[in-house]
Amino acid sequence: MASHSDTLVVFFGATAGANGGKLGSDEREIILLVWQIVDLHEKKVGKLQRRLVKPDSLELTDQSKEETGLSVDELNKAEPLDKVLQQFQQSVSAELKALGRSSYTLCVDGPLIIRQALHPEASRKNLVLPECFYSFVDVRKEFHKCCPNAGQVQDLTLPYILEYVCIPELPLSEQVMGLKEVRCMVQLCLHILAEPYNHKFSCFEAVKYKLESGACSKTEPMDSETVIRARGLPWQSSDQDIARFFKGLNIAKGGVALCLNTQGRRNGEALVRFINQEHRDLALERHKHHMGSRYIEVYKATGEEFLKIAGGTSNEVAQFLSKENQVIIRMRGLPFTASPQDVLTFLGADSPATDASDGLLFVKYPDGRPTGDAFVLFSCEEYALNALKKHKQILGKRYIELFRSTAAEVQQVLNRYMSTPLISTLPSSSMVPMPVLATPPYLATGSTRDCVRLRGLPYTAAIEDILEFMGEHTIDIKPHGVHMVLNQQGRPSGDAFIQMRSADRAFMVAQKCHKKMMKDRYVEVFQCSTEEMSFVLMGGTLNRSGLSPPPCKLPCLAPPAYAAFPSPAMLSEAALYQPPLLATPRTPQPPLSPHPTLAYYPPQHHPAQLYMNMNMNYTAYYPSPPVSPSTMSYFASPPGSVALAAQQPHAQGHIASPMMPQHSALVRMQGLPYNAGVKDILSFFQGYQVE
């Protein structure tokens, strides 16, 4: 824009709803525009112009009718907003030409009419605003520069300012809304241009034309008073859609961070960082404004939350995002074997990636394995749109999902996968002794059939083979939901359990993948519940004929005093972890409860029952690292390893409730026969007190 020193156009607007300090907060349309030119050199003013604007919805609030004095009939005869803006440009241009001036700047009483009313409405109606509406001066801030002792800018009002500089009020006959405000602003401008102030207007505020993309470092200082959280966004909304929702307010570079759920999908929330607190506060006024047919909730957030989502330290990401003005597309569901050339071929000649393979960023786990996600840079919107047309087209044997993405989402996805541990970390605190056989019940059991069992897997099958076998259904697997089953010798049993996001997804997998080939074998796929899964992991059987309970569930095998599986509710969090192979003894901590339910074996009062229990055919299993490491950190224990708790004799010689021993030690046994059972281990330690 040319120099701002020629003229001011004092500008005012009103809406069909709230006005004054709440202008634009209720999304109501503009119904009135008033303006007048002030020549900064000659200290002259132009003709006062007033235009009514016809809104799309001819409804006025009672407050608006009272303040503006307008009726629905008057507005129905007016021109729509785009026509009135054309009249504004033509009128101002004609007057400037008559005055011999070449440029002008809007002058307003506060930023609301520009930032909260005009730009949002133009955005909703897809109107292109003239360039003059992207720069303005605020008469309150200009006055504050002349009279800094008059008070804080946010506390200043036009009547107070006029009284402060001794400008008399207008006669009641001239106090028509719009005309009154413009006349008062014009008088104030002329007053501070004259002696003794000789003020020069210089605080030009800008409205950003578009959102600037960029990366954010975790070490970057962040002002918490500039961040908001937007909730209820459509899942397919991009950073540009969010910037459009906040049109008129200036978002910081790379200041939109779309939040992802545990599956890596957008969850309808975003964190938005503005250039200062003033813009953040104006954004909060858009609480429950609409994006399409959805209303969006807007709340305060912190800089720490923003950095957690958008901040990064990866040089690879920083280099990838260093190219300016690039459109980012996210690709999801890529075959793990896909190469850069495969992706470029899939995109085709009509949507070339920027700098070919340098414009691709494959998302990988810390050990270098692919996740199936990738990001692509495009130099223009046309190429990106061509790429989006290939949404759900096939690459190899998989359909590929394509979405608009952001620099913050690139960083967030990389952070999420790069922080995934290869093997879950054991807690540092001492463990509660418990048998390895008690692992399965600590899965969150339920009757909902949201799991599938894979039976007949090749013994060489790995996690990658299972994911490839499930194909497009892998996106519906719960985080940490793949469990490989081992036999008592710690070898693959040919079974696996997969926890799906819902029972419907599990049903679809069972229908589509049953008897599908994996390598040279067909695999049976059954739908089941977590309860049934636990039964099988404890030694039961599950097939299409039904469920057979494990030995421990049969009444004849359960001795009265046998408590093989402690109640999860009575265990500490540390008790949910299986101990690894221990090279040194570890002294357990005293129990949190005076009477915890522990796993123990009673004295040899019932040898027949004990023998039957010791030879139960339990099945150990291990979670799949790192595609879905269990959040509970289940670990397969070495064959034959078991923790036993001794019973404490009562003072009268009766058997008391089992208590945690105060002094004990664990030993590691190597070289056990593969067929060794618990009875064999107890016999080996005959003569010693086994806890």
The closest alpha carbon to 187, from 335, 48, 23, 337, belongs to 48
How far apart, in whole angstroms, are the C-alpha atoms of residue 579 and residue 506? Answer: 32
| Fold agreement between 227-310 and 451-538 | yes
Distance, CA of 475 to CA of 471 (rounded, Å): 9
- The DSSP string of 202-214 is --EEE--SSPPP-
Q: What are the residues whose beta carbons fall under 8 Å from the beta carbon of 280, sequence distance 6 or more? A: 225, 226, 227, 228, 274, 300
Q: What are phi and psi of 313, to 5 degrees?
A: -130, 0
> Domain residue spans in the chain?
7-206, 227-310, 315-418, 451-538
Task: Tell me yes or no: is domain 451-538 CATH 3.30.70.330.
Answer: yes
Who's near 428: CB < 8 A, 6+ residues apart?
none
User: pLDDT digits over 214-272, tens only?
Assistant: 777 777 788 889 999 999 998 878 888 999 999 999 999 888 888 887 666 788 899 99
d(CA 156, CA 140): 7
Which has the closest alpha carbon to 139: 124, 163, 167, 161? 161
Burial of 100 (0-12, 13-18, 19+ CB in 10 A): exposed
Q: What is the CATH number of domain 315-418?
A: 3.30.70.330
Helix (H, G, I), strand (E, B) or coil at 231: strand
Q: Is 531 left (phi over 0), alpha (psi -120 to 50) or beta?
A: alpha
Place of tokens 């969090």: 573
Q: Give dist(CA 455, CA 527) in Å, integer.
A: 11
Write down the pLDDT at residue 118: 97
Candidate CATH numbers 3.30.420.10, 3.10.105.10, 3.30.43.10, 3.10.129.10; the one for domain 7-206: 3.30.420.10
Quote the CATH superfamily of domain 227-310.
RRM (RNA recognition motif) domain (3.30.70.330)
CB of 36 closer than 8 Å to CB of 48? yes
- Angle between helix 503-513 and 463-470 (nearest 10): 90
The pLDDT of residue 644:
36
> Are 483 and 461 spatial neighbours (Cβ–Cβ below 8 Å)?
no
Helix axes 139-146, 179-193, angle to 10 degrees: 30
- 81 touches 57 (CB < 8 A): no
3-state secondary structure of 257: strand
**In the chain, which residues have pLDDT < 50?**
1-3, 420-442, 553-662
CB-based burial label for 593 (10 Å; 0-12, 13-18, 19+): exposed
Helix (H), strand (E) at residue 496: strand 492-500
**DSSP3 helix / strand / coil % (the chain, rounded to 5):** 30, 25, 45
Nearest CA-CA partner of 241 in 416, 403, 23:
403
CB proximity list for 355: less than 8 A, separation 6 or greater:
323, 377
Angle at 206 between CA 201 and CA 211, to 5 degrees: 170
